[in-house]
Amino acid sequence: MQRQSETKKIGIVAFKGCQILDATGPAAVFGDANTQLKEMGLDRPGYDVRLIAPASGPVRTNCGLELLADHALSSQNVKFHTLICAGGSGVHDFISNPRDVLALRRLARHAERIVSVCTGTFILAETGVLDGRRAVTHWQHCQRLAANYPQINVESDPIFIKDGNIYTSAGVTAGMDLALALVEADHGRDVALAVARALVMFVKRPGTQAQFSRHLAAQMAPDGSIRDVQMWLLDNLSADINVDRLAEIAAMSPRTFNRRFKTETGMTPARYVTECRVDAARRLLEESPLPIKTVAEKSGFGDEERMRRTFRRLLGVNPDSYRTCFANLDMAS
C-alpha cells in the first residue's frame, strides 16, 4: 500500500436539481477508503470530503432529498486537492449563473485534480478548463456537449477519461468507478480492491470499458424499418451479412437503405455490424468461459485473428486481455 501522509481535501459541487448519486456515490467511495486505510494502519484519514454549493446549507437534489453543503462556492478561504462537479437536471440553471461559474473556475484553478460526473462535464466545459481536451459525459448528452462546446474532443464510449489532471466520467454510477480509480492512484490497488469489495462494486471497470451497448441502442431505437434491421442483426450476427440483404429486410433499395441507416444510427451499416459483433463478443468474454475461438464464431467474426484485429483497432486490447479485465469474478473463479 502506498501511504499518503497528507489528507486530501475533496470538494464535491452540488446544486439545486443535482443528481444525488453523482455527489453521494464518490463520497461513499472516499469515505469507505478512509475506513479501509484505518484498518490497514494509516494514522490519519486519506480524505476529507466536503460538499460545496452556490450557498452553504440545504441543497435539494433531483429526487427531492436534501444534502447539506459545508461551504459556499464564493468562500475565499477554502481550497481543495480534488474538485468534483456533480451533474443532473439542474446543470443548465447552474451554468446560466455567471457568478457561480466564475467561482467554480477560481476553485478549479487551485485544485490539483478536477473531476466531473455525468452531465457535470457541462459545468467544466462552461468554465473553459476542458478546452482542447478529451472528455466524456452521459451517452445521451454527448452530441449536445460536442455541439455546444466544439473546442472539446468529446468521446461517447468510455465510462471515464483522464486528460492531464482533468477527469470526466459517464452517467451516474460511473462516478463511483472514477472515484475508485482515484483511490487506487492515491493509495494503491489493495486499498481500491478492499473498497470495491466493501461496496459490492465491480473491481475491474477501467475507463476504457464501454458505457453503452449496441444491443441496448437497438432496443431503444424508434419503431420502423431501420429498427427492424437492427433487431434482426442482433439475432443473426453469424450470418453472411451484406448491404443488399439488409436493404431487402428493410424493404428499401441499397442506396436508400444506406442513407436512412446512417441518418438514424450515425454510422454506416458495416460499422454498425462490426460494433454489434464486438459488443456480442464482449458479453461472451465477460460472462462465459467459452474458448476465444468459440467466442469469435458465435459473435460472427468467423475466426480468432479477425476478432483480435478488430478488438485491437476498436478497443486497444486483444480479447484475452479484455477477458482478464472484465470477466465475471464468479465465473473466473
Question: Domains in the chain, start-ordered, CATH in brackets?
Answer: 8-198 (3.40.50.880), 214-332 (1.10.10.60)
Band of pLDDT at residue 223, cut at 50, 70 and 90: low
Tell me which of 281 and 314 has the higher pLDDT: 281
Band of pLDDT at residue 313, cut at 50, 70 and 90: confident
119 Cβ neighbours under 8 A, 6+ residues apart = 19, 87, 88, 91, 137, 138, 141
What residues pair up with 58 in beta bridges, in sequence order? Answer: 68
What crossing angle do the helices spanning 243-250 and 269-287 adopt, rounded to 10°? Answer: 100
Given a cut of 90, is residue 197 above it in pLDDT? no
Q: Span 40-69, mean pLDDT? A: 95
Q: Which residue has the cell 466520467?
A: 169
Q: Which residue has the cell 482478464?
A: 324
11-20, 22-31, 195-204, 316-325: least confidently modelled range: 195-204
Q: What is the mean pLDDT of the chain?
A: 87
Given a cut of 90, is residue 156 above it in pLDDT? no
Q: What are phi and psi of 20, to 5 degrees?
A: -60, -35
250 Cβ neighbours under 8 A, 6+ residues apart = 225, 226, 228, 229, 257, 260, 261
Band of pLDDT at residue 174, cut at 50, 70 and 90: confident
74-88, 92-106, 163-177, 242-256: least confidently modelled range: 163-177
Band of pLDDT at residue 8, cut at 50, 70 and 90: very high
Band of pLDDT at residue 283, cut at 50, 70 and 90: confident
Q: Span 153-177, mean pLDDT? A: 87
Above pLDDT 70, what percent of the chain?
Answer: 89
Band of pLDDT at residue 6, cut at 50, 70 and 90: confident
Residues 172, 88: Cα–Cα separation, whole Å:
9
Q: Span 159-167, mean pLDDT? A: 91
pLDDT at site 222:
64
89-98, 212-221, 267-276, 290-299: least confidently modelled range: 212-221
Tell me which of 235 and 149 has the higher pLDDT: 149
What crossing angle do the helices spanning 20-39 and 174-187 adopt, rounded to 10°? Answer: 30
Given a cut of 90, is residue 4 above it in pLDDT? no
Residues 192, 202: Cα–Cα separation, whole Å:
11
Q: Span 43-57, mean pLDDT? A: 95
Q: Which residue has the cell 456480442?
A: 280
Q: Span 90-102, mean pLDDT? A: 96
Band of pLDDT at residue 321, cut at 50, 70 and 90: confident
Given a cut of 50, is residue 162 above it in pLDDT? yes
Given a cut of 70, is residue 202 above it in pLDDT? no
Residue 195 CB neighbour total at 10 angstroms: 27
pLDDT at site 286:
78
3-state secondary structure of 258: helix
Given a cut of 80, is residue 167 above it in pLDDT? yes
> Which grid cell is 247?
436493404
